[in-house]
C-alpha cells in the first residue's frame, strides 16, 4: 500500500525536524530580539493577509507568551519590557526595577559583562519604555530625561531611534529636558553621532554609534525618513565587528500606537515595516549560522478582531476593537537559529528574559 503525506502533515513534520535538529541546541554567539509592541495574533494575521508571505513564516520554532504584570492581569509596556529584559515581574509603570524598586539586572548588562557588543533600535524615542527596559532603571516610565542619563552610562554600543531632545540641555531650543545637562556632549565622547539616515552609509570601521533622528518620537511609518529594516541592517553591520558576539534588541514600537488609536490600517502598515526588519535579521542570521533570532510581542493592544477580508485581494475589510488599551491575550513568539528550541511552547514573558540571560551569564 502506498501512503502519502498531506502537504500540511509534511509541513508539520518539517517543523518538528527543524526544531529538534542539533543546530537548534548549540549556544549562539549572537542574539537578536525583535519586539513587535502590541502585536497579537490578530495583528499578525492582518499583516499576513495584506503582505501575503511574512518573514515570521520562516522561523521553525513557535510558541505563545503570557504577559501579566506583578499584581495586574493586564500589563503595560514597562512591566512587560522589564520581564523580557530581566526575567522578573514588576508593577506597571516601572522600568528595570522590582515592585520594591530594587534594581534588576538586564540581559544587556549581562551581555556587556561577557564582553559582547550591545544595541537598541526602535521606531520610538530611544528613551521610550521598551528600549529603556533594556538599559535603564527608573521607578516611573515617563522619566525620559533620567532614562537618557542611564543610556549614556549604560555602555550600549548602538542606539538608533528618536528622542535627541532628551539629550540636549534646557538652554537648547529643541531640548526636552528641564536641566542644563548636555548628554549629547557626553554621547559624542563615546559614540559617533549621526543625525540623518544618510549617516548610516558611513559606519565603516565604526564600533559605537548613536543615531537619534527626531527630537521626540518618529512619525508613523510612511512619514519616517528610514525603515526599521535599514536601521536593523546598519546596527548589525556595527555590532558584528565584535569577536565576542552581540545582543541586539529591535522594537517595532508603533504597532502598539495604532492599536491604541483603533487604527487597523496603521497596525498593518507598522506590522509590515516590523516584519521587513524581521526578514533582515533572519537573512543575516541564516547566512552565518551562529545567531539566535527571537520575535515576540510585549502584549496585545486594542482587542483587535478580524471580521472580514480577502486572501485573494490581500485586504482586511472589516475589524472591531474591544478596547483602546492592552488586553491579557497571549502573544506569539518565533525563534530561529542555535538555541531556538529553548523558546518553544507556552512560556511566560519572564521565561524569555531568564533564558536570554542564561545565554550570556558566565560566558
Q: Using only the alpha carbons of the chain, give its radius of gyration.
A: 20
Say if CB 361 and CB 310 are below 8 A apart: no
> Which letter does DSSP use for residue 39 in this model?
-
Instruction: Out of 77, 154, 264, 341, pick the active-site residue.
Output: 77
Phi, psi of 88 (to 5 degrees): -130, 145
Cα angle 299-163-326, degrees, rounded to a multiple of 5:
15
Residue 26: predicted pLDDT: 80
- In whole angstroms, what is the distance from residue 127 CA to residue 181 CA? 16
**Residue range 92-140, pLDDT digits in tens:** 999 999 999 999 999 999 999 999 999 999 999 999 999 999 999 999 9
Residues 6+ apart with CB under 8 A from 38: 255, 256, 257, 258, 259, 260, 267, 297, 298, 299, 300, 301, 302, 326
Residue 287 included in any domain: yes
240 a catalytic residue = no
CATH number at residue 235: 3.40.720.10
Say if CB 181 and CB 169 are below 8 A apart: yes
Residue 208 included in any domain: yes
Tell me how many domains the chain contains: 1
Residue 12 included in any domain: no
CA 288 to chain centroid: 21
Helices 41-51 and 264-288 sit at what angle, rounded to 10 degrees? Answer: 80
Helices (H) and strands (E) in the chain, counts: 11, 14
Provide the sign of the torsion angle of the four alpha carbons 347, 348, 351, 356, taken in this order: positive
* Per-residue pLDDT tens digits of the chain, which is 363 residues long: 334 434 444 444 444 444 444 455 689 999 999 999 999 999 999 999 999 999 999 999 999 999 999 999 999 999 999 999 999 999 999 999 999 999 999 999 999 999 999 999 999 999 999 999 999 999 999 999 999 999 999 999 999 999 999 999 999 999 999 999 999 999 999 999 999 999 999 898 899 999 999 999 999 999 999 999 999 999 999 999 999 999 999 999 999 999 999 999 999 999 999 999 999 999 999 999 999 999 999 999 999 999 999 999 999 999 999 999 999 999 999 999 999 999 999 999 999 999 999 999 977
Residue 343 included in any domain: yes
Residue 175 included in any domain: yes
Residue 14 included in any domain: no
Residue 283 included in any domain: yes
Phi, psi of 311 (to 5 degrees): -65, -45
Task: Provide the grid cell at 316.
Answer: 482586511
Domain housing 180:
27-360
Residue 11 included in any domain: no
Phi, psi of 73 (to 5 degrees): -65, -35
CA atoms within 13 A on the CB side of 354: 9
Residue 176: predicted pLDDT: 98
Residues 6+ apart with CB under 8 A from 19: 60, 61, 340, 341, 344
Amino acid at each position: 500500500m502506498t501512503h502519502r503525506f498531506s502537504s500540511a502533515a509534511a509541513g508539520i513534520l518539517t517543523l518538528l525536524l527543524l526544531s529538534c535538529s542539533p543546530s537548534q541546541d548549540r549556544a549562539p554567539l549572537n542574539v537578536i530580539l525583535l519586539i513587535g509592541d502590541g502585536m497579537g495574533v490578530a495583528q499578525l494575521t492582518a499583516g499576513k493577509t495584506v503582505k501575503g508571505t511574512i518573514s515570521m513564516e520562516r522561523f521553525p520554532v513557535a510558541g505563545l507568551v503570557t504577559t501579566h504584570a506583578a499584581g495586574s492581569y493586564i500589563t503595560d509596556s514597562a512591566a512587560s519590557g522589564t520581564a523580557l529584559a530581566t526575567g522578573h515581574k514588576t508593577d506597571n509603570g516601572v522600568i528595570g526595577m522590582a515592585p520594591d524598586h530594587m534594581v534588576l539586572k538586564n540581559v544587556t548588562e549581562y551581555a556587556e559583562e561577557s564582553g559582547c557588543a550591545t544595541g537598541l533600535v526602535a521606531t520610538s524615542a530611544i528613551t521610550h519604555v521598551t528600549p529603556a527596559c533594556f538599559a535603564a532603571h527608573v521607578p516611573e516610565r515617563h522619566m525620559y530625561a533620567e532614562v537618557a542619563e542611564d543610556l549614556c552610562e549604560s555602555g550600549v554600543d548602538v542606539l538608533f531611534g528618536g528622542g535627541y531632545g532628551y539629550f540636549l540641555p534646557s538652554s537648547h531650543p529643541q531640548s526636552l529636558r528641564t536641566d542644563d545637562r548636555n548628554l549629547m556632549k557626553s554621547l559624542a565622547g563615546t559614540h559617533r553621532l549621526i543625525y540623518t539616515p544618510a549617516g548610516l552609509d558611513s559606519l565603516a570601521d565604526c564600533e559605537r554609534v548613536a543615531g537619534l533622528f527626531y527630537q521626540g518620537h518618529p512619525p508613523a511609518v510612511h512619514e519616517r525618513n528610514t525603515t526599521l529594516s535599514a536601521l536593523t541592517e546598519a546596527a548589525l553591520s556595527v555590532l558584528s565587528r565584535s569577536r565576542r558576539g552581540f545582543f541586539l534588541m529591535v522594537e517595532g514600537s508603533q504597532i502598539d500606537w495604532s492599536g491604541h488609536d483603533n487604527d487597523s490600517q496603521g497596525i498593518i502598515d507598522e506590522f509590515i515595516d516590523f516584519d521587513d526588519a524581521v526578514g533582515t535579521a533572519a537573512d543575516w542570521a541564516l547566512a552565518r549560522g551562529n545567531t539566535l533570532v527571537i520575535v515576540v510581542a510585549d502584549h496585545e493592544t486594542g482587542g483587535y478582531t478580524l471580521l472580514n477580508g480577502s486572501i485573494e485581494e490581500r485586504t482586511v475589510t472589516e475589524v472591531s476593537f474591544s478596547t483602546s488599551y492592552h488586553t491579557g491575550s497571549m502573544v506569539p513568539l518565533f525563534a530561529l537559529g542555535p538555541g531556538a528550541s529553548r523558546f518553544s511552547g507556552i512560556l511566560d514573558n519572564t521565561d524569555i528574559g531568564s533564558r536570554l540571560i542564561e545565554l550570556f551569564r558566565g560566558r
